[in-house]
Amino acid sequence: MKRVLGYQPGVSIFHRLHPLLKVAWLVFITAAAFLIHSPAVNILAVLVMLAVFPAVGIRWDDLRGLRVLIFTALLITCLQILFWKEGELAAQLGRIRITDQGLFRGFYLGARFMVVVLISYLFVLTTSPNQLAYAMMRAGLPYRLGFTFVTALRMIPIFEQEALTVYRAGQARGVSYRPRGLRDLWEKLAGFILPMLVSGMSKVDALSISMEGRCFGMHRSRTYFKVREPFSGDLWAGLILLMGIAAVILVKLWEV
Amino acid sequence: MIRLDNFSYWYPGSDRPALQEIDLEIEEGEFVLLTGPSGCGKTTLALALAGFLFSQFNGESSGGVEVFGLDPAVVPIYEIADQVGLVQQNPENQFCTLMVEDEIAFGLENRRVPREEIEIRLAWALEAVGISGLRDRSLRSLSGGEKQKVALAAILAAKPRLIVFDEPTSNLDPPSTHEIFRVILDLQRRGNLTVLVIEQKLDFVNQADSRVIRMSAGRILDQETGQPRTITVERPQIPASPSDPVLEVDDLEVGFPGRTVLDGVDFQLFPGELVSLLGDNGSGKTTLLLTLLKMQEFKRGSIRFQGVSLDKVDSPSLGREIGMVFQNPDHQIFASTVWEEAILGPVNFQLDPDRYENWTRSLLDRAGLGSRLKEHPYRLSFGEKRRLNLISVLSYKPQLLLLDEIFIGQDPQNGEFLMGLLVDHVNEGNAVLLVNHNPAYYPLISTRLMFLKNGKLAVNSPLPEALRELDRMGEGAYLPVEMP
């Protein structure tokens, strides 16, 4: 089965940071990319993040789908440069006017896109969804909601595997998955979905017995056995984050 | 003391009782094995003792149930859960978390047990089941047997007085099945735990250690009428003259990124052969079947079907000649009536109705499904669905039949029926490759055994010789109780 983009276990500082601190960094970097209208700052941020990936033990091979996103960023950049009309003339390519504002917008928007993409990759690849869910529950998210997320994480790969089995079982008995018209499409879809639905319902029954049998929902709150001790990296990452937020606020005030 | 007193139960919308006038007493510290055909009410009885029958279903009941002085029909499920733990058939479906220690701590956290106490009970449960080394592992990375041990530890951590196991080994290979029963028996003896195990594979348990209760049609049978059913099935006739192989596999290597599953596998299958393929969970048996159907790519080697290389045969033609029945009956039902399901293959392969209609109808009659042709297949029982699965492939008479664990969860009566169909199929000159874990079945019908170990075909011999080889290799768990 094809590997999808997901958490890659590791021991780097990014892996060890508190998951909620990483969420805060994700929000901050994304917001800063939109607030700081500077191609240079955004390009610098892209270069820094590209250097971070190998440093935290992530191979380029793990960044699935990155080529398409780089292509999209280049497309955004080129379209802005070639077709933005406002501003002073910087160069002329035949009938196409390239303006200073077009160049500014092209590099800024392309780099901003890549900043958001790369910080999201870094977050997804270094943050265990399970640890994130537990951290959110400990921070106050109702545990019934938190375990909805954990259960989804558990069930997605199981359903993925089952869908493949149902597909193969159909193929083995000559079911063609190339629909001939809308009616045929509907029949094929129903034939495929029904086994998944039946299997899903039996799983729900088993899971609800398992959860109820272990007193899930007995109290309004629950205890948590795992305690995550903070380490110096959390402190430094928090401090740098606060400084970053202060810097962005100062820049925005300066602009006003 | 656990007591059922003249207890009957009707599921909502059913006029047939799932349990009828059950009288049963289980002493504290007893080890009880509960067996009987599928659909006879074993799981319903387990759900009654664990309280879920009353908290999850709105059925009707009469008579009484008492579990350590509590009435499960009246007290909240959380109170019963402190006394009774239920380990279900498939651990995969009952896990609520992603990591081993989270799973074992889950019930204790829900009960608001302080973390210092959770740490003590977690370590104790891991040690009691013998899986302390798995503590930091993710559940996905575990084998089937390890997962079932984690499910047991998760129940054990709450220190219940009764643990009910609902077919805990049905998906496990023989070595893991032996190991799970060893752990259960050990726990019961050391901790004076009361244990009720619902099981079809009685050969794996020393029945001297336990009280065996047999059920049928919602009732508990008395000792005299409740003797185990012996399976009788005729062996396939060995073909008089040798013929060309239907399948030739040569130096096959199959793998996934970072893992080789099959390495240098060679074998041939001849018309009239019924070959059982054995091996531990994860040894590559299903992968081999999928590779033979061109549903899994291979890295090295060759596969020839009727002398033609597999890459020269298109998938629809291959599907017509090689039929496959998958492990879970629910994953392979596509039509909305029993009849349409049975003839789905022949219709898709555009066969002449004269060639399959009467034949399929006779198979359905033989399976007891002849009067239910217009019913939705999902209304059938588990055993009936399994019969339909097999018939829906036999309907187009494939020359090679691949079967992946079709005996899981089947009672002896249904197992006997399925084996009869397979023997008839090979006696007509076809070949069958059967993946199977149950030593009560494969020695009865196989002409040859193949055993996969560490990606290689470690045994590939006619039946009696293959069993001796398995014995020499220290794979005693795969041997039947009585050698043929």
Select the residue of A158, A202, A212 nearest B77 (Cβ to Cβ).
A212
A224 located within any domain:
no
Q: Tell me the C-alpha distance between B78 and B50, whole Å.
A: 10
Can you give the residue range of the structural domain that contains B428?
247-478
B234 located within any domain:
no
Question: Do A155 and A112 share a structural domain?
Answer: no
Select the residue of B86, B112, B119 nearest A222 (Cβ to Cβ).
B112
Q: Tell me the C-alpha distance between A155 and A31, whole Å.
A: 33
Question: Do A149 and A55 share a structural domain?
Answer: no
Can you give the residue range of the structural domain that contains A81?
13-127+229-255
User: Among A43, A47, A51, which Cα is nearest to A77's?
Assistant: A43
ipTM of the assembly?
0.85
Judge whether B11 is closer than 8 Å to chain A, CB to CB: no
Residue B415 has pLDDT above 80, yes or no: yes
Q: Tell me the C-alpha distance between B396 and B344, whole Å.
A: 9
State pLDDT tens for residues A136-158: 999 999 999 999 999 998 888 88
B341-356 residues labelled b (16+ CB within 10 A) or e (exposed): bbbbbbbbbebeeeeb
Q: How many CB atoms lie within 10 A of CB B332?
A: 26
Phi, psi of B419 (to 5 degrees): -65, -35
Question: Do A123 and A245 share a structural domain?
Answer: yes
Mean pLDDT (whole number) for B371-389: 91
User: Among A126, A17, A121, which Cα is nearest to A66's?
Assistant: A121
Question: Do B211 and B81 share a structural domain?
Answer: yes
Q: Look at residue B176 in the predicted model and tell me its pLDDT.
A: 87
Length reported for chain A: 256
A184 located within any domain:
yes
Question: Do B439 and B394 share a structural domain?
Answer: yes
Residue B241 has pLDDT above 80, yes or no: no
B126 burial (CB, 10 Å; 0-12 / 13-18 / 19+) is buried
User: Among B400, B390, B378, which Cα is nearest to B306's?
Assistant: B400
Q: Do A195 and B334 touch (CB under 8 A)?
A: yes
Q: Tell me the C-alpha distance between B82 and B72, whole Å.
A: 12
Q: Which residues in chain B (149-188) have CB-CB distances under 8 A to chain A?
A: 154-155, 158
- Mean of the per-residue pLDDT values of chain B: 90
Question: Do A112 and A45 share a structural domain?
Answer: yes
Most confident stretch, A155-159, A226-230, B179-183, B271-275: B271-275
Question: Do A34 and A121 share a structural domain?
Answer: yes
Q: Tell me the C-alpha distance between B320 and B313, whole Å.
A: 11
Question: Do B263 and B208 share a structural domain?
Answer: no
Judge whether B329 is closer than 8 Å to chain A, CB to CB: no
Question: Do B177 and B297 share a structural domain?
Answer: no
Q: How many domains is chain B built from?
A: 2
Cβ-based contacts under 8 A for chains A and B: 169
Residue B356 pairs in a beta bridge with none
Mean pLDDT (whole number) for A51-60: 88
Query: In terms of CA atoms, which chain B residue is nearest residue A175?
Result: B348
Q: Do A202 and B158 touch (CB under 8 A)?
A: no
Question: Do B333 and B254 share a structural domain?
Answer: yes
Question: Do B60 and B21 share a structural domain?
Answer: yes
B146 located within any domain:
yes
State pLDDT tens for residues B278-288: 999 888 999 99
Question: Do B251 and B141 share a structural domain?
Answer: no
Mean pLDDT (whole number) for A182-194: 84
User: Among B328, B180, B414, which Cα is nearest to A202's?
Assistant: B328
Question: Do B251 and B216 share a structural domain?
Answer: no
Q: Do A3 and B86 touch (CB under 8 A)?
A: no
Select the residue of B96, B109, B328 nearest A210 (Cβ to Cβ).
B96
B231 located within any domain:
no
Judge whether B50 is closer than 8 Å to chain A, CB to CB: yes
Amino acid at B376: H
User: Among A126, A107, A122, which Cα is nearest to A44's?
Assistant: A107
Q: Tell me the C-alpha distance between A108 and A38, whole Å.
A: 6
User: Among A158, A1, A190, which Cα is nearest to B290's?
Assistant: A1
- Mean of the per-residue pLDDT values of chain A: 90
Please indicate whether residue A179 or residue B5 has the higher confidence score (pLDDT). Answer: B5
Question: Do A18 and A140 share a structural domain?
Answer: no
Q: Do A173 and B348 touch (CB under 8 A)?
A: yes
Query: In terms of CA atoms, which chain B residue is nearest residue A171?
Result: B319
Query: Is the CB of residue B442 less than 8 Å from the CB of residue B449?
Result: yes
B228 located within any domain:
no
Q: Tokens for A246?
A: 């202060």
Question: What percent of chain B clears pLDDT 90, i.e. is strictly above it?
Answer: 65
A50 located within any domain:
yes
Question: Do B325 and B216 share a structural domain?
Answer: no
A208 located within any domain:
yes
Residue B222 has pLDDT above 50, yes or no: yes
B288 located within any domain:
yes
Question: Do B195 and B80 share a structural domain?
Answer: yes
> Which of B103, B110, B170 would best serve as a mutation to test chain A binding (most A beta carbons within 10 A)?
B110
User: Nearest CA to CA, how far is B309 from chain A (Å)?
Assistant: 18
Question: Do B256 and B157 share a structural domain?
Answer: no
Q: Do A214 and B81 touch (CB under 8 A)?
A: yes
User: Nearest CA to CA, how far is B249 from chain A (Å)?
Assistant: 20
Q: Look at residue B242 in the predicted model and tell me its pLDDT.
A: 74
Judge whether B101 is closer than 8 Å to chain A, CB to CB: yes
Question: Do A118 and A244 share a structural domain?
Answer: yes
Q: Tell me the C-alpha distance between B196 and B210, whole Å.
A: 10
User: Nearest CA to CA, how far is B482 from chain A (Å)?
Assistant: 36
Q: Look at residue B205 in the predicted model and tell me its pLDDT.
A: 73
Question: Do A157 and A84 share a structural domain?
Answer: no
Judge whether B98 is closer than 8 Å to chain A, CB to CB: yes
> Which of A204, A214, A218 would best serve as a mutation to test chain B binding (most B beta carbons within 10 A)?
A214
Q: Tell me the C-alpha distance between B200 and B429, whole Å.
A: 32
- How many angstroms separate the Cα of B62 from the Cα of each of B3, B43, B58, B68? 14, 18, 13, 19
Q: How many CB atoms lie within 10 A of CB B141?
A: 11
Judge whether B112 is closer than 8 Å to chain A, CB to CB: yes
Q: Look at residue B224 in the predicted model and tell me its pLDDT.
A: 47
Q: Look at residue B484 in the predicted model and tell me its pLDDT.
A: 63
Mean pLDDT (whole number) for A46-63: 88
Which residues of chain B lie closer than 8 angstroms to A2, CB-CB?
A: none
Q: Look at residue B383 in the predicted model and tell me its pLDDT.
A: 86
Question: Do A235 and A150 share a structural domain?
Answer: no
Which residues of chain B lie closer than 8 angstroms to A212, CB-CB?
A: 52, 55-56, 77, 81
A97 located within any domain:
yes
A110 located within any domain:
yes
Question: Do A139 and A90 share a structural domain?
Answer: no
Judge whether B290 is closer than 8 Å to chain A, CB to CB: yes
A221 located within any domain:
no
User: Nearest CA to CA, how far is B47 from chain A (Å)?
Assistant: 9
Q: How many domains is chain A built from?
A: 2
Question: What percent of chain B clears pLDDT 70, i.e. is strictly above it?
Answer: 96
Select the residue of B85, B98, B114 nearest A153 (Cβ to Cβ).
B98
User: Nearest CA to CA, how far is B154 from chain A (Å)?
Assistant: 9
Q: Tokens for B2?
A: 């656990």
pTM of the model: 0.84
Q: Tell me the C-alpha distance between A156 and A200, whole Å.
A: 11
Q: Do A215 and B78 touch (CB under 8 A)?
A: yes
Question: Do A68 and A42 share a structural domain?
Answer: yes
Residue with tokens 């070949």: B431
Q: Look at residue B206 in the predicted model and tell me its pLDDT.
A: 65
Judge whether B57 is closer than 8 Å to chain A, CB to CB: no
Residue A2 has pLDDT above 60, yes or no: no
In DSSP notation, chain A reads ----S------SHHHHS-HHHHHHHHHHHHHHHHH---HHHHHHHHHHHHHHHHHTT--GGGSTTHHHHHHHHHHHHHHHHHH---S-EEEEETTEEEEHHHHHHHHHHHHHHHHHHHHHHHHHHHS-HHHHHHHHHHTT--HHHHHHHHHHHHHHHHHHHHHHHHHHHHHHTT---S--SHHHHHHHHHHHHHHHHHHHHHHHHHHHHHHHHTTTTSSSS---S------HHHHHHHHHHHHHHHHHHHHHHHH-
Mean pLDDT (whole number) for B390-396: 96
What is the CATH classification number for the domain harbouring B255?
3.40.50.300
A6 located within any domain:
no
Question: Do B370 and B421 share a structural domain?
Answer: yes
Q: Do B344 and A173 touch (CB under 8 A)?
A: yes
Question: Do A111 and A17 share a structural domain?
Answer: yes
User: Nearest CA to CA, how far is A254 from chain B (Å)?
Assistant: 48
User: Nearest CA to CA, how far is B77 from chain A (Å)?
Assistant: 7
Q: Look at residue B228 in the predicted model and tell me its pLDDT.
A: 59
Domain end position, chosen among B220, B255, B286: B220
Query: Is the CB of residue B331 less than 8 Å from the CB of residue A162?
Result: yes
